[in-house]
Amino acid sequence: MLHTITSLPFDNTYVRLPELLFSGVTPARVSRPHVVSFNADAAALIDLDPAEATRADLAEYLSGNQLIPGSQPIAAVYSGHQFGVYVPQLGDGRAILLGEVRNSRGEKWDIQLKGAGQTPYSRMGDGRAVLRSTIREYLCSEAMHHLGIPTTRALAIVGTPDAVHRETVETGAILTRLAPSHIRFGTFEFLCHTGKHGELRVLADHTVNHHFPHLREEERRVARMFREVVVSTARLIAKWQAAGWAHGVMNTDNMSVHGITLDYGPFGFMDAFNPGFIPNHSDPMGRYAFDQQPSIGFWNLRCFAAALLPLMTREEAMEGLDAYQPAFLEHFNDLMRSKLGLRQSLAGDRELAVDLLALMHADGADHTNTFRELATVEMGRDRQAMRDAFRDREAFDAWATRYCQRLQAEGSADEERRSAMNAVNPKYVLRNYLVQTAIERAQRGDFSEVDRLLDLLRRPFDEQLEMEAYAAPPPDWGRHLVVSCSS
């Protein structure tokens, strides 16, 4: 059964938790809200009729000007380690959770308005979001989903001509974000480090009961939940690494207990492969550089473990943490093997992948295009087109000879391998210059490029001949775009 925006079946469980975990809020009104883009794929998650996209008052509901019947808007409090430093209280400074909707498949989805006004946790901020950053999160969360990377989802962007002051004066926007929940590592940290251990137990029970129901009857269910979060986080970061994507702000308050990508700020897909890629110019020391993400993931999980120590033993915490590296390496190696078109696991596979990445780094080869073009290599045939992507062609030839020998070792068939590789190596990713073009057009009132990119990124592995130009590496103007935490 499909629902209208006013008939969504809310089942709000988070507001039944201890009141110190949230504050009731009312979204601030905005002037002349208008729908910039509506995502029918995300609407299906909450059984929302896609025809609602044309509803005359939809922007009123998705801006917060009118409350959706059944919603109970709140802002959640949490703390977290930001760039390695513990901050005792953070919280939803510009995001308002309307409530939780259960769909016909029994899945529960939070509906959150990001940029809907000030909350008790805004910390001198205005509670607003700008059109620029909202478009980036809207498009990237959907791009990640269609790449097979766990993520929050984005239902819609609502724009407003209201001025928002950042480095310059920009127009505002509100993102409607969906997630299984917005419970973070920092939610647990807030309760533990303020000595609220009874409430910590209530939160853990809530998390298990609603989000890890298979653990409800387990005697060591908190420890078991923690271990599952460790493994899902390890697998998530392995996917980021294989995709050549960097989050940019891996604070513990930006880490989800669901092992999903949360809070898109200064993220970036790499163009030229560079292990030290830093997508955030607010991170000059490179704490959250691309090659640091696996170790930061583990660091953040240690903070999460510390917050759960009132509920589990140190031995249980260590047992959970010990699962991180094997889970990461196993999944990352499997992903890289698939990207190389290898069906079997043989000795030397990891070195083969590492050596290709080193060649790519040395020659500035494009991460996405190199793996996509690797599918064109055929055993025993000329590899000129592929080798032209590398300055050191002799080094590539030596690597390609090893690669073809490895393919022969498992009896690889060119056509079958090409098809398998093209199903895991995308042709299209959300490059910074593409989203920047969409942002600049949107700021002039033309939202067509947002929808064009949304449609493109729904099929990142397909050959879309009419969109071929969108697979190109960045032009000169797009190679050094700077992104910060400003939003």
Could you give the residue numbers annotated as active site?
253
Q: CA 216 to CA 10: how far, in whole Å? A: 23
Q: Is 75 helix (H, G, I), strand (E, B) or coil?
A: strand
What are the backbone angles phi and psi of residue 439, rounded to the nearest 5°?
-65, -45
Q: Is 429 helix (H, G, I), strand (E, B) or coil?
A: coil
Distances (CA, A) of 119 to 75, 82, 263, 370: 7, 20, 18, 46
Per DSSP, 116 falls in state B
Which pair of structure tokens corresponds to residue 53?
């996209």
Which pair of structure tokens corresponds to residue 317?
């915490």
- Tally Cβ neighbours within 10 Å of residue 141: 26
Query: Where would I find the beta strands (DSSP E) of 224-333?
Result: 245-246, 268-269
Sequence-distant (6+) residues with CB within 8 A of 481 are: 432, 433, 436, 474
Q: CA 80 to CA 101: how far, in whole Å? A: 27
Q: Which residues on adjacent β-strands are paired with residue 179? A: 110
Q: CA 271 to CA 291: how far, in whole Å? A: 15
